Structure 1
Amino acid sequence: MKRYWKTAVLIPFIISCIGVYYIQAASDHDPVYILSTQKGSVEEAAPLSMELYLPKYGRVSVTSEGSRSENELLPWTKDDELYWFDSRLQSLSRVYRAFMRGKRDIRALYQDENRIAYAEIREIGKVEPDYRFTVSVYDKQREASHSFEAAVPQGSQYEYIIPIQVQMDGKTMKVVSRAVKKAKLQSGAVEEIHLFTIDLEQKAVLDDQTIVTSASPDQTSQLYIREITAVNPGEAEHNAVFLMLQSQEGQAGNALEASRSVVSQGLVVYNLWTGQKKVIQDELFSSEIVNGLEYQTVQMKYAKDELLLTVKQSPQELKVIRYSLAEGKVKQTFPVNVASVGDGKEEIRNNRLYILYDKKTGASSSPALNIVELDQGQTVYEGILMEKDDQGMLKQVTYQSSSVNGRINLE
């Protein structure tokens, strides 16, 4: 081994030099951006970054203190640092790197203070495709993980099946999945939402329930299932929430194309642990809201027993609606001023609504961020993207855009 000590010393040195080269090369050419505070305290924006795609410079990650570009990252870390689908996965990957390797769907993940779990559904077989669960659980206290496979009940009857929510309690895992059955002759494909109960000790699926189905009781209409995502996917929730839509026969073949004829059949709230199913009929879920969902002018998310809707009233204003799922009524409504171009991106964390959008500035637009405190219904922070020159002077970044291209990362 003594013969190779020089090689062992040189390899880390060479890697370090390569890293310094890439960082230095980037700092010599890439501009520096910051999220410049226009209203409120800069502390409000401290825990977040904006990951943007700018027409001239590609991907950049921007905070209130500065930025880093795609070029500044080492080649082998780009995939982990910039291309993760969800910032929560990104954060978990940094801490639990070995366990999180290859796990990139936030809908298949669950975590609490004691463990992380991931339930993937894999297709097996080519001639007669079938499906199996691959379940992985990491114990944070013991710093140990285990995994196993379990058959999806009657898996061969599905065209495809994917997990959309995972919950855990003790040794029991609940996996909510969206499935499409193979189409039979003279009938269309049927979409279903299933709830699978998995015993982590027995390493088997104990139960398979169908929560909702698109199967129509008659031939005069088509039913569609709209999944409502959780505010904090991957964290503990006791409900799964869906909006049932209906379009008349003879219209376009899917809900998006037929959005003008789509009407609501009610909001389905299903308690994963008690099996209680509630259908809420409310004029709030009118054709205006339903069509807004299809055209992405309405965003809808839920947390515990509350539904949060943001409705784009005009290019200058959003309407925020807080709806109680337990009481079946609107709790609060208030406007938020955003002079936006196109659609924005929204995140909710710690009772705050974060809105990333392209702010209209004359004939151009600039990436901007608003933070709204939900209980008070007030905007507590407004920021806009600025470029800092070598002398420390700031200038606003403007470009032609129809919608912001980026996302908010909250640590």
Structure 2
Amino acid sequence: MKRYWFTTLLMLFIVACIGSYYVSAALKSYPDYRLVVESGDDKEADTVILHGEAGIGSLEITSKGSHYRAEESFFQSFAASNRFIGDPDLLQLLKDHRNFMRGKQSTNGFYKDNQVLAYAEIRNGDLNADGSRNFKLYISAQDMEKKTNASFELDVPAGKAPYGWVYVTDVQLIGSELRVLTVNSEQIRESSPFGYLQEIHSYAIDWTNQRIVSDKILLQDKKMDDGQVMQYSSLNAQQSSIAPQEVQAYRQTTSKMVKDQDGNEYMKSGTDAVITYNLKTGQMEAVPLLEADNVNSEHVYATEDAVIALSQDGNNVRIKRYDLQSKAITEFTVPGSVDSNNMVIKDRLYMYSLNGQNSRIVSVDLTKGKVVFTGSIDVNEQGAERAKLLKRLQVYSIYPAV
């Protein structure tokens, strides 16, 4: 029996720790923050979750009250769903396809339709002598009709210059091929004031025969003769999407290193533009969305079917919506600040602002061009304690519930 004493003590210790975890959690009482509707549709407010922190760990706030991470059980704190907090599409995938989702981390790497459920991520390969890596493209795909699965790795084709890092921005299905969209960054060069240049790639994958059919560079950062640098970033990468989306949106930014009167160098921004690329037709177009005299103050987002630009117009936020299919632009204003905590998810714009202890949440239907509800956050205390708790709260993101 003596040889089992350590195992027995270890088990007793683990049980005691878990027990104390539950007891301490049960004895604690946390402030109950709540989303209060001031005007508009109560049902719309019921679908909104605010994620933040109030000095005692992270919490979620809804119209029904608060849920603290610290209130979760020992085992709940390690749940796979914690990887996808704030993303209703991926949480639904986790519910419906738990086995397929196991071990998958990249929120921008999923795609699903009636034919296929697919996932792609970039994995680091061996380190080369020059500091670059041989990157691997990992693909996992499930045929939704045949219920068959395939998982494999492919070598990322080498570029003209060594890549320092590569990441996936989106995955789509065009015909029978998977299109994996990536940002490939050249190895960082210390001598460059811009750090590094990037390429935006589209890899066509024959997933049934497990091979790369083509590697196309859609856009490429470049240095121009006058010292300016033109750089590109994916607007679709700002939020994950699992839905079919043939048209991808990118922001083009032109900047230049200049010197002030004291000889100090700084980055001066020039013109910006939004460019769309149709994966099916190969057509690239400029989107007439950004104002030439207000471009640097505009916030630009891409959804599954539109590009959204926000800019300040007095005490209002001016919203422009460019429909990717019809190419029509609709424009309207709502009260608020473009510098508030803004989130665009599908056809909703959520704006959160804080002035002292007074918060304001606005939900805008981008397709109808109207505010669907306004609200604020309150807490179950009065007087000075209420003011202290509201001041302590920090909201990081807003998203719809599953």
Normalised by the length of structure 1, the TM-score is: 0.78
176, 182, 186: which one aligns with 1:177? 182
Distance 1:169 1:161, change over 3 A: same
Q: 8 Å contact 2:227–2:256 — kept in the other structure? A: yes
CA drift at 1:126: 2.0
Partner of 2:126: 125
Distance verdict in 2 for CA 1:52–1:235, change over 3 Å: same
For residues 370 and 286 of structure 2, the distance between their equivalents in structure 1, rounded to whole angstroms, comes to 32
Structure 2 match to 1:384: 376
Determine which of 146, 150, 169 is the counterpart of 2:150: 146
| Higher RCO structure, 1 or 2 (CA under 8 Å, sep 6+) | 2
Alpha-carbon distance in 1 for matches of 2:242, 2:316: 31
| Cα separation, 1, equivalents of 2:345 and 2:125 | 37
Is contact 2:202–2:218 with CA below 8 Å preserved after alignment? yes
* 1:53–1:259 Cα change, 3 Å: farther
Give the AA of the match of 1:178. V
Give the CA deviation at 1:28.
4.3
Query: Is residue 244 of structure 2 the alignment partner of residue 236 of structure 1?
Result: yes
Identify which of 341, 345, 349 aligns with 2:342.
345
Work out whether residues 341 and 359 of structure 1, in 8 Å CA contact, stay in contact via their aligned partners in 2: no
Q: CA deviation at 1:83?
A: 5.3
The CA distance in 1 between the partners of 2:292 and 2:338, in whole Å, is: 25
Q: Deviation at 1:143?
A: 5.5
Q: Alpha carbons of 1:201 and 1:358: their partners in 2 closer, same or farther (altered >3 Å)? A: same
Change (3 A) 1:405 1:374: closer
What's the RMSD between the two structures over aligned residues? 3.5
Change (3 A) 1:49 1:181: same
The C-alpha deviation readout for 1:332-357, integer Å capped at 9, x for no partner, is 2211123x6953131333x33333x1
Question: In 2 relative to 1, CA 283–308 (structure 1 residues): closer, same or farther, beyond 3 Å?
Answer: closer
Alpha-carbon contact 2:39-2:374 (below 8 Å) kept: yes
Aligned to 2:391: 399
Amino acid at match of 1:286: A
Inter-CA distance 325–40: structure 2 relative to 1 (3 Å threshold): closer
Residues 345, 408 of structure 1: 8 Å contact kept: no
Tell me, yes or no, if structure 1 residue 365 matches structure 2 residue 358: yes
Gaps spanning 5+ residues in structure 1: where? 1-10
User: Which residue is 1:68 aligned to?
Assistant: 67
The alpha-carbon deviation at position 259 of structure 1 amounts to 5.9
| Structure 2 match to 1:354 | 350
**1:50 CA displacement:** 1.6
Letter in 2 for 1:214: D
1:204 deviation in Å? 0.7
Asked whether the equivalents of residues 37 and 381 of structure 1 are also in contact (C-alpha less than 8 Å), the reply is: yes
The structure-2 alpha-carbon separation of the partners of 1:206 and 1:285, relative to structure 1 and needing over 3 Å to count, comes to farther
One-letter amino acid matched to 1:288: N
Residue equivalent to 1:335: 333
Distance (whole Å) between structure 1 residues aligned to residue 24 and residue 49 of structure 2: 22
1:115-146 CA-to-partner distances (Å, cap 9, x unmatched) read 42110111111235201111012345665533
1:286 aligns with 2:292: yes
CA 1:101–1:258 in 2, change beyond 3 Å: closer, same or farther?
Answer: farther
2:4 corresponding residue in structure 1: none
The residue type paired with residue 334 of structure 1 is F
Give the corresponding residue for 1:6. none
**What corresponds to 1:7 in structure 2?**
none
One-letter amino acid of the structure 1 residue matched with residue 401 of structure 2: L
Residue correspondence of structure 1 range 121-270 to structure 2 within 5 A: 121-128=122-129, 129-140=133-144, 145-154=149-158, 157-169=162-174, 171-182=176-187, 189-229=196-236, 233-250=241-258, 260-264=268-272, 266-270=273-277
| Contact kept in structure 2, 1:193 and 1:211, CA below 8 Å | yes
2: CA distance between counterparts of 1:23 and 1:260? 57
> Could you tell me which residue of structure 2 aligns to residue 44 of structure 1?
44
**Aligned pair count?**
373
TM-score by length of structure 2 reads 0.80
Pair 1:100-2:101 in alignment: yes
- Aligned-partner Cα distance in 1 for 2:331–2:108: 29
- 8 Å CA contact 1:228–1:241 kept in 2: the answer is yes
Work out the CA distance in 2 between the residues paired with 1:237 and 1:251. 42
* CA apart distance, 1:196: 0.4
**Which consecutive unaligned segments of at least 5 residues does structure 2 have?**
1-10
Shift, 1:36, TM fit:
1.4
**Cα 1:319–1:22 shift into 2, 3 Å:** farther
Pick closer, same or farther for the CA change 1:23–1:109 going to 2, 3 Å.
farther
1:209 to 1:408, Cα distance in 2 relative to 1, 3 A: same
Q: What letter corresponds to residue 181 of structure 1 in structure 2?
A: E
1:61-104 CA deviation, whole Å, 9 max, x = no partner? 12222221111112332244545364233332233333223323
In 2, Cα distance between equivalents of 1:36 and 1:185: 51
The match for 2:6 is none
Deviation at residue 192 of structure 1 after TM alignment: 0.8
Contact kept? 1:53, 1:406, Cα under 8 Å: no
The 8 Å contact of residues 117 and 138 in structure 1, kept in 2 or not, is answered as: yes
Task: Tell whether the 8 Å contact from 2:198 to 2:220 is kept in structure 1 after alignment.
Answer: yes
